[in-house]
């Protein structure tokens, strides 16, 4: 969903620009943060692992935070590798050409980041692995399920509590009435690991927009 840049729409906290991957840092659960070192330490450990294993994947269902984690990791990865290229694969668009173009532009020792690796056929993934080994490239991918030849770097999943907390952060600047309306909507929905947070927030965008319009009319 692309939302225009008009003043009225920008105040909606579920506008695309506010919830797209990278707009909000990935939020780690406490279980993902050993000790008291926090998110920075977790990102450092992941970066080190990407360098060590060469072929790694972030696994999780739609809307569980894979792309957000990837965007949060990017600054570390760009520092850790001598060269870097990122490709976002979409089901409705050709996949092979952008992958090959990105790979061709990488120098030896570079990192290819592929967001949406499940869009490639099995033979395409095998060819990409073979080619990357020959060219001394590393790969970090996202996918809905584990991939043969790739080590799982992180599995993303959303608990009902995490969904509520992230949503509360989004609506913290809204009126109490609007916040309560949105929280009531959450309480009427089944929330858990299979929830697509991106689609949920698209739905909440419409609710928030109606409430904002009502409040502006007084």
What separation in angstroms does the CA of 149 have from each of 25, 131, 140? 28, 13, 12
Best CA proximity match to 149, nearest among 19, 53, 45, 15: 53
In whole angstroms, what is the distance from residue 213 CA to residue 193 CA? 32
**CB of 204 within 8 A of CB of 14?**
yes
- 150 — phi, psi (to 5°)? -120, 135
Instruction: Tell me which of 3.40.50.300, 3.40.50.1980, 3.40.50.720, 3.40.50.2020 is the CATH number of domain 30-155.
Output: 3.40.50.300
Predicted pLDDT at 7: 39
Predicted pLDDT at 6: 41
* Long-range interactions of 2-10: CB distance < 8 A, separation 24+: 3/205, 8/212, 8/216, 9/209
In whole angstroms, what is the distance from residue 213 CA to residue 178 CA? 11
Predicted pLDDT at 2: 40
In whole angstroms, what is the distance from residue 137 CA to residue 142 CA? 17
| Domain parsing of the chain, residue ranges | 7-27+159-216, 30-155
Ranges of the chain with pLDDT below 50? 1-10, 36
| Contacts of 102 by beta carbon, 8 Å cutoff, 6+ apart | 85, 86, 87, 112
Q: Over the stretch 66-124, which tens digit does the pLDDT of each residue have? A: 999 999 999 999 999 999 999 999 877 777 788 999 999 999 999 999 999 999 999 99
Distance of alpha carbon 21 from its chain centroid, rounded? 5
């Amino acid at each position: 969903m692309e939302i225009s840049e008009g003043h009225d729409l920008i105040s909606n906290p579920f506008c695309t620009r506010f919830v797209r991957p990278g707009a909000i840092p990935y939020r780690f659960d406490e279980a993902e943060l050993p000790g008291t070192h926090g998110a920075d330490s977790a990102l450092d450990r992941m970066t080190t692992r990407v360098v060590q294993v060469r072929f790694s994947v972030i696994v999780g269902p739609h809307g569980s935070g894979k792309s957000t984690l990837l965007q949060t990791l990017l600054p570390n990865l760009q520092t850790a590798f001598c060269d870097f290229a990122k490709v976002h694969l979409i089901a409705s668009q050709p996949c092979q050409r952008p992958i090959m173009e990105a790979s061709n532009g990488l120098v030896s020792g570079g990192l290819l980041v592929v967001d949406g690796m499940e869009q490639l056929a099995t033979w395409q993934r095998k060819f990409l692995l073979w080619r990357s080994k020959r060219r001394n490239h590393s790969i970090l991918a996202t996918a809905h399920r584990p991939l043969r030849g790739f080590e799982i770097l992180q599995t993303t999943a959303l608990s009902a509590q995490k969904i509520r907390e992230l949503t509360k952060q989004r609506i913290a600047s809204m009126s109490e009435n609007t916040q309560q309306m949105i929280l009531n909507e959450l309480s009427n929905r089944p929330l858990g690991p299979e929830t697509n947070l991106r689609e949920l927030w698209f739905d909440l965008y419409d609710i928030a927009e109606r409430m904002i319009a009502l409040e502006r009319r007084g």
